[in-house]
Structure 1
Amino acid sequence: MASRDVVLGIFFLSQTVVGALGNSSLLLHFLVLDFTRCRVRHTDLILKHLIVANMLSLLCKGVPQSVAAFNLKFYLGDFECKLLFYLHRVGRGVSIVTTCFLSVFQAITISPIESWWAELKVKAPRYIGSSMYLSWVLNLLINIIILMYITGKRNNTTMTNLKDFGYCFSVCHNTATESLHATLLTFPDAVCVGLMLWANSSVVLILYRHKQRMQPIHKTSFPRSSPESRATKTILLLVSTFVFIYTLSCILQVCLSVVHNPNRFLVNMAAIVSGCFPVVSPFLLLLPAGWPGSSGR
């Protein structure tokens, strides 16, 4: 076994373990809050769905990818391969939709009373649960297209017609069909990223205007950095990290879809990047809990 394979296997394994521990710890934290009936925020329900989606995406990709990276040659059957890739895509899709919804909900929450979002501030919490379940249903339907491509090793199929992912294969179709399918799968992600950028830009603008109004008070009470300034930096860090990871992931996923015979470097890079957000999100996505205007139930 080459040393680079060992390093890659250790990296995949570490990424999976750290991400699983981080997300499971947060889920346990929320379950304890529910059990003790402590006062929680409306966004906690969104974060619970996000944690489950992250765990699903991370484990369905990270565990088999870790084994494959150690050159432990194993190939799953059709059903196992289709199930793993399908659940990974569903988890990934729900993760980005949930993060988008979290950003929009926070923008509505901290909006001024006189804004055109004022009515939504009262109605939005009622639709959190139904919106989360709807995102699961939609992603379960959208990603059915994955079942057309993924397969286990087939003795009656020539290797030239298959893309090797180390433990499963993807059946190659013509370039036009694969490009169309890649566009259909990527379009919802692009819409969510656009909505999140718009929502967080609104948050930054609201905080900036509030800072301007409260500037005389901040000069005496907060000589170094106002709460609005710190919150703005937090939002910018969250958005820039999310957009960078998912933009890079989408690009790599499109490349995997349209390239007829991708090399191992491209396959491994796509797997690494797809696991980055589920790993860092337990830390980044808890930062908005401290935004000004977060409300309890």
Structure 2
Amino acid sequence: MPSDKLVRGWLFLSLAVVGIPGNIAVIVAFLLLILQECFLLAADAIVLHLAFANLLVVLVRCLLEALASFRLANVFGDVGCKAVIFIYRTSRALSIWLTFLLSAYQCLSIAPPGSSWASARVLVAQNLPAVFFILWVLHTSMSVGAVLFSVSSRNYTAMTTSAVNAEFCYVNFRSDVLKEAYGAIQVSRDVVPMALMTLTSLIILVLLYKHSQHLKGLRGSGSAGAGSSGAEQRAAKVVVVLVTVYVVLYGVDNGFWVYTLTVRNTLSSSLISDLRVFFASLYAALSPLVIIASNRKVNGRLRCVAQERPLLGKTARLRSI
């Protein structure tokens, strides 16, 4: 096996090993919360959908490409390429927009009570199912181009100079104009939420600073502290961390995509495509670790599950005796 494919396989396998159990753990924790409390807060519902989208990203690209690199399995025929790239593009876009939605909602959550922002938060929470539905419909429809243009690399002789090499698949655009137009749509789909979530994160930081200054003033005057919004403050800080990770990794990803669009004859090497997928998937693999480490609800449910397993094992052994 060539050394470059071996390195590629291990890199994607490492993301799958981290990202798959991490996102599954977050999903299981929130499902347990639903079973116990019969409802989810709006922010928790957004995180649950984000974990599901990230799980799809890691499964369809990292795991499948790692298996193909090691020649253990290969689903990358024409139909497989269309399905994998379609699911990857859709789930990747959902991951981006759900991260923005989470940052926007947390920004509204720490806004001063009684303001118009507080009423906007209630409106978002009440219409969250409709927001999820719109995001799914929008991004599945925008990923249709993957079905039209994706083919297996086994058919490389039919490629045009406008094709994009994705190692096991090609995105075979019929002309440079079509390639640039489709690429511009993909870039705008990423850059718009990137700019918006950066703005909301800056607003969150400003509000957190004002809140800390207000608490200092209360302590200085000897008044009783106002710590009722501590959980929202912690959640807002976590969102800022997630957005920072997103902006760095997806910024690199989009930089490589712009390079692919502007440099001619990128057909010969899949290195740029591999780097794009790696950096985009890195967010999907790392974000559940941030959520598990910082979200008390997820942490608490996972600890309960971990503590119940030994107890169940002891009970089973006692019964057998």
The equivalent residue for 2:20 is 20
List gaps (5 residues or longer) in structure 2. 297-321
Q: How does 1:68-107 map to 2 (within 5 A)?
A: 68-70=68-70, 74=74, 76-107=76-107
Q: Distance in 2 between matches of 1:231 and 1:153?
A: 44
Aligned-pair distance for 1:46?
0.8
Highest CA radius of gyration, 1 or 2? 2
Q: 2: distance between equivalents of 1:181 and 1:231?
A: 36
User: 1:275 deviation in Å?
Assistant: 0.9
Q: Separation in 1 of the partners of 2:137 and 2:251?
A: 24
1:29-178 matched pairs, under 5 angstroms = 29-37=29-37, 40-70=40-70, 74=74, 76-153=76-153, 157-159=157-159, 161=161, 162-178=163-179
RMSD between aligned alpha carbons? 2.9
Q: Which residue of 2 aligns with 1:255?
A: 259
Residue 275 (1) aligns with residue 265 (2): no
Give per-residue Cα distances to partners, 1:93-143, cap 9 Å, x unaligned.
111111110111111111002433132133221011211121011001111
Deviations 1:30-66 (CA, angstroms, capped at 9, x unpaired): 1111112267432111111111111111111112321
Looking at structure 1, the residues matched to 233 and 108 of structure 2 have their Cα atoms a distance apart, in angstroms, of 19
How far off is 1:264 after superposition?
3.2
Instruction: Determine the C-alpha separation between the residues in 2 that align with 1:101 and 1:75.
Output: 33
The residue number in structure 2 matching 1:246 is 250
* Distance in 2 separating the partners of 1:234 and 1:271: 24
Letter in 1 for 2:253: S
Gaps of 5+ in 1: 291-297
1:163, distance to aligned residue in structure 2 (A): 4.1
Structure 2 residue 188 is the aligned partner of structure 1 residue 187: yes
SS in structure 2 opposite 1:36? helix
8 Å CA contact 1:75, 1:167 repeated in 2: no
The amino acid that maps onto 2:285 is V
SS in 2 for 1:111: coil
Bigger shift: residues 251-260 or 107-116: 251-260
Q: Which residue of 2 aligns with 1:293?
A: none
Greater CA deviation, 7-16 or 114-123?
114-123
Does the CA contact (< 8 Å) of 1:150 and 1:169 recur in 2? Answer: yes
Does the 8 Å contact 1:68/1:166 carry over to 2?
no
| Structure 1 position 154, deviation (Å) | 5.8
Out of 19-28 and 159-168, give the one that drifted further.
159-168
Q: How many residues align?
A: 286
